[in-house]
Copies of this chain bind each other. A is one copy, B any other.
Amino acid sequence: MRKMAETVYVKELDLSSLGSLSKSYITIRHPRMKKVLRIQATICMAAREYLDSLGFIELLPPIIGPVTDPGIRGAKQVTFNFYGREYKVMSSAILYKQMAMASLGKIYFFSPNIRLEPLDSAKTGRHLVEFVQIDIEQAHASYFDAMEIAEGLLTYVVKKVLKEHEEDLKDLGRELKVPRRPFKKLTHKEAVDILRSHGIEASYEHEIPWEAEKELSYMFEDPFFIYDYPRGARGFYDREDPERPGILRDFDMLYPEGYGEAVSGAEREYKVEKVIERMRATGENPAKYGWYIEMLKYGIPPSAGFGIGVERLTRYICGLKAIWEARPYPKVAGIYSP
């Protein structure tokens, strides 16, 4: 009898409320959560099928390393000491993708990332402290090639989910459509102009703040790209256009309907002098990047790639209010949960 009563309790819990998080070891049994997790398994399988069909090789991801991505906007990294040397848990495996790309040419991994987000991030419904991204890198590719792969990947995944989870999506109340290709492409300047023409003002010299991104996302019915961000918007690894100083050869893909950022990608800086110059400009100390600088000195091919967060992709596909509904072990700042 006790079991029966508690099953009802789980069913009635609002999974999108922050309060449900500390009981995630029970809410994972919610019928809604089970559907989301099954759909997420299909999403991952479909992503692998698509990338494998293009000749990408999946590698096991790095988990810790001497350095990790510094460009995580206000979040902190997990740092620890091991036999007198400092290690970090990956906040993004971006530098390690270049290392693997230089070996196998077309690579991807499902990369576990930890970002110790500030407390107020808990309320956005779109930040997680632990998440997984599919990280892709291809030698000798341009950022337009990378956009093409991202577009193809998303479309393939949506089709597969629609085919295998029609009933589940209906139960979740989600009307999902196959995105129309090609996706629209706006330059950063065009995106800012649209925002301003709608009276949405913010500081746009660097990144587009996520609240503004969300507003822009509401104006579209299909996923779309923003490209050519200004140099201040990204880390030292996004390649500056040699012909258009101050402009990066990079992009974001945004989901429509207010779901916001889907993908972040770019061509990479690969010449050691240029990387060191960019590091200095962003306040990074090149001496901290020992192996990475050594590798660049040795020489690596130019490349482009992107990362797509699996939980945000699941949130979009399932039409979920909060990102933690898309995570079997949801962690947000300030809530202690498994």
Measured CB to CB, the residues of A under 8 A from B are: 2-3, 6, 25-26, 28-29, 33-34, 37-38, 40-41, 44-45, 48, 52, 57-67, 78-80, 82-83, 85, 89, 95-96, 99-100, 102-104, 110, 112-114, 116, 119, 129-130, 132, 291-292, 294-295, 298-299, 310-311, 327-329, 331, 333-334, 336-338
Contact = CB atoms under 8 A, between A and B. Distances in A.
Contacts of A114: 63-64, 89
Most B CB contacts (10 A, CB to CB) among A48, A64, A79 go to A64
The 4 tightest CB contacts between A and B, nearest first, are A62-B329, A25-B295, A63-B112, A63-B130
A49 B157 CA distance: 18
Per DSSP, chain A at the interface is mixed
A103 B59 contact: no
Contacts of A89: 63-64, 78, 89, 114
A291 B89 CA distance: 24
Given A28-B100, A65-B338, 10 more contacts: A33-B103, A37-B59, A37-B104, A41-B57, A41-B58, A45-B48, A48-B48, A60-B328, A62-B130, A82-B129
B3 A66 contact: no
Contacts of A78: 64, 78, 80, 89
Nearest to A58: B41
A59 B41 contact: yes
Contacts of A61: 112, 132
A124 to B, nearest CB: 16
Contact of A310 (B60, B110, B130): B60
Contacts of A60: 40, 44, 110, 132, 310-311, 327-329
A57 B37 contact: yes
A298 B59 contact: no
Contacts of A52: 45
Contacts of A327: 60
A277 B61 CA distance: 38
Copies of this polypeptide in the complex: 2
A44 B39 CA distance: 20
Most B CB contacts (10 A, CB to CB) among A26, A103, A114, A295 go to A103
Contacts of A2: 299
A63 B115 CA distance: 11
Contacts of A80: 78-80
Nearest to A289: B338
A57 B66 CA distance: 34
A209 to B, nearest CB: 24
A61 to B, nearest CB: 7
Contact of A82 (B37, B58, B100, B333): B333
B66 A338 contact: yes
B298 A6 contact: yes
Contacts of A33: 103
Contact of A337 (B38, B119, B291, B311): B291
Contact of A3 (B6, B62, B113, B299): B299
B28 A82 contact: no
